[in-house]
Amino acid sequence: MATDVVVPTLGESITEATLGQWLKKPGEAVKADEPIASLETDKVAVEVPSPVAGVMGELVVTEGDTVNVGAVIARIEEGASAATAATPAVEDQTAVGKAEAAAPAEPAAAPADDESGDPVTLSPSVRRAVLEYGVDPTKIKGTGKDGRLTKDDVVAAAKNQPKVAPVAPAPAPVAAVPASSSGGRKEERVRMTRLRQTVASRLKEAQNTAAMLTTFNDVDMTAVIEARAKYKDLFEKKHGVRLG
């Protein structure tokens, strides 16, 4: 059974709105009181909840259309269709989980071997130093316990390495940017929402009715500056403060 979705009461003195966006598409499962669309009015943007649980059906209006309060905007199919639509997704997730569990784990990376074929065990600080200085740990003789490498061994080996002048990388070719036919920036016209239209009209109305006036006053301060220069020292000696 199909249930109509109507435009709810939007507030006092508001009789119409604009359908801003559909939050659900036909065929998608919806829950009761779940938002399925957003409406834009002159004052606020509100969401339209689903009256029942089911599957999204026919969309009566499209995005950008103006609708009145109480008008039908969509229909929702009640029944077991929602559960049927959600079942394949659950089965797919179960199959994926079983496939991941059956997949073999990747082998961990083996440590580096020295010249004798024995693996080289590096502590975290030594491993960090090896990566920082870019040296080969298999070619460094360790001075630590049992012949292990230390951070000082890595630093000393890095200092003894012959310095090679770095080769500057070749500059990457710059792709030619095709010139615009109009010679300017790309323009895109987007339809204004009802709320922005109301704000724009109010600002324009205020600009047309408000008084736009700027006043400038010029004062000759020559006599004041001369009087200050004449009496500033006497004023400071008498009162102990400088003349402002």
Using a cut of 0.85, tell me whether the model's pTM lies above it: no
Ordered by where they begin, the domains of the chain are 2-80 (2.40.50.100), 124-160 (4.10.320.10)
Q: Which distant-in-sequence residues (6+ apart) come within 8 Å of 40 by Cβ?
A: 17, 18, 19, 20, 193, 194, 195
Comparing C-alpha atoms, which of 91, 92, 52, 93 is closest to residue 75? Answer: 52
Comparing C-alpha atoms, which of 46, 48, 58 is closest to residue 3? Answer: 58
Residue 125 CA to residue 133 CA, distance in Å, equals 12
| Residue 173 pLDDT class (50, 70, 90 cuts) | low
Of the two residues 97 and 76, the one the predictor is more confident about is 76
Q: Is 88 exposed, middle or buried (0-12, 13-18, 19+ CB in 10 A)?
A: exposed
Per-residue pLDDT tens over the stretch 213-235: 888 899 999 999 999 999 999 99
Per-residue pLDDT tens over the stretch 90-148: 444 554 455 454 544 443 334 455 544 555 667 777 788 888 888 888 888 887 777 77
| Residue 14 pLDDT class (50, 70, 90 cuts) | confident
φ, ψ for residue 20, nearest 5 deg: -80, -45
Question: What pLDDT score does 85 carry?
Answer: 46
Asked if residue 38 has pLDDT above 70, the reply is: yes
With beta carbons less than 8 A apart as the criterion, state whether 74 and 89 touch: no
Question: What pLDDT score does 91 carry?
Answer: 46
φ, ψ for residue 87, nearest 5 deg: -65, -45
Residue 8 CA to residue 20 CA, distance in Å, equals 15
Asked if residue 244 has pLDDT above 50, the reply is: yes
| Residue 181 pLDDT class (50, 70, 90 cuts) | low
Instruction: Write down the mean pLDDT value for the chain.
Output: 77
